[in-house]
A and B are shown apart, each in its own frame.
Chain A
Amino acid sequence: MADVRKEVLEIVATVIEKTPDQIPPDAHLVQDIGADSMMALEILAALEKKFKIVIPEEKLKDLTTLNKIVELAESSLKKGKKS
């Protein structure tokens, strides 16, 4: 699962235009890093494309830290890929 973390970090860093080392795993992406909900949508769309998963709208509000996004990606991957 280390790869998932690395790939998620890459996606998050690209979308919010920061370098990976500027994104601590538990930092709040909106309050601490300066992301907004539109960036969350872009992250969500990029995750779906990268991992071929479907993330429902109600999960958007949970994507607050890198760790939570990694958790979500990993649990979605476990549930199975979309056909």
Chain B
Amino acid sequence: MNKPALNIEDIKKIIPQRFPFLMIDRVIEASPEKVVALKNVSVNEHFFQGHFPDEKVMPGVLITEAMAQTGIVLYRQKFDTNKTLFLVSVKARFYKSVCPGDQLSIEATPVKFLSKMGIFKAVATVGNDKVAEAEIAFGTQDAKAV
């Protein structure tokens, strides 16, 4: 297998989230125009304990979180800042459920990035199936003062 664009240690240098909230495992493509990240969904994920006890489905909000974290990596390809980025709005649609054993592939592309905020589009797939897509807006805490 080719060397990933970013391994987990590289990812941890970019995004501040940690266990149990680090939702991407590997970045296989990283440029200011596009980032593709992978999330391997294991049956041992903590959220499967309760979601649901008898039917294990990855919560849509956590797919959204994986998209948001991919978006941080995308943003950081263009802007070198350590400021924490906050979610502002999410327009999402979920098509199929994500289960233990699935490998989520998340592709994020910019819609409009400014220095303190941005909007990007993310598409999550498992194999050839699109499982979710979203348009996500985010900003730094001081963005509101612009």
Contact = CB atoms under 8 A, between A and B. Distances in A.
A51 to B, nearest CB: 13
A45 B144 contact: no
Interface of B: 88-89, 111-112, 114-115, 117-119, 137, 139, 143-146
**Does more than half of chain B's interface fall in helix, strand or loop, or is it mixed?**
strand
**Does more than half of chain A's interface fall in helix, strand or loop, or is it mixed?**
helix
Given A60-B146, A61-B146, A42 B119 contact: yes
Contacts, number: 36
Contacts of B139: 37-38, 41
Contacts of B112: 41, 44-45, 48
A38 B143 contact: yes
25 contacts: A36-B144, A37-B117, A37-B139, A37-B146, A38-B117, A38-B137, A38-B139, A38-B143, A38-B144, A40-B146, A41-B112, A41-B114, A41-B119, A41-B137, A41-B139, A42-B89, A42-B119, A42-B137, A44-B112, A45-B111, A45-B112, A49-B111, A57-B114, A57-B115, A60-B114
